[in-house]
Structure 1
Amino acid sequence: MPFLLLSLPSNVSSACRSYEFSCATGGQCVPQAWRCDGETDCMDGSDEQQCAAPCGPGQVPCLSGDQCVDYQHLCDGTPHCRDASDESIDNCGMFIYIQM
């Protein structure tokens, strides 16, 4: 099913929300769940710098900090973290699906 993902142009800067990570340059914000997940999401790569290694490769920490889940389970529609943070709107965002 095709979908449309809406986002702000990269030249529009805004303060990051409490559940977002502020990239070092460019005014970019990414979900905290994407920080230190093994994939570069900030254009400057700052989301993968100065990371502790509490989780194994290919895993992301739950917001509770006491559990890790495999990256492929993030935002898959089924909670795997005891606190369900792997499915929270703060981590997964909202998508608008448009049937074409």
Structure 2
Amino acid sequence: PKDLYRKPCELRCHDGSCIRFRNRCNGIRECPDGADEENCASCKRTQFTCQSNKKCIDYMRRCDGDMDCEDGSDEELCEKGCKKTEFICNDGTCINFSKRCNGIYNCLDKSDEAFCPS
């Protein structure tokens, strides 16, 4: 007999388990194998991408003294003390935030053009 009370599987993990579709690409691994966090779109230009799980956090939370990424990558290379209106390149230098994802490499390490929406 068919189970009328069981909800249909919205998103199936590689191991066969099911999760809600709204939990896909939210930066939290609901699937045991992390399938729900695979092939996710890159973060918006106003967001920072955490290194370990590619979670997106608002850039204002980068270098604010609180670890918002599981791996703490949002608090790394902050010693130069960039302003809230500046983007912190991976090498620690600061550029105006308006130069992030503008199609021009402004950071020597090219990190200002990484993970930009296409």
Please state which band the TM-score falls in when normalised by the shorter chain.
0.3 to 0.5
Bigger RCO (CA 8 Å, 6+ sep): 1
User: Is the radius of gyration larger for structure 1 or structure 2?
Assistant: 2
Query: TM-score, with normalisation over the residues of structure 1?
Result: 0.47
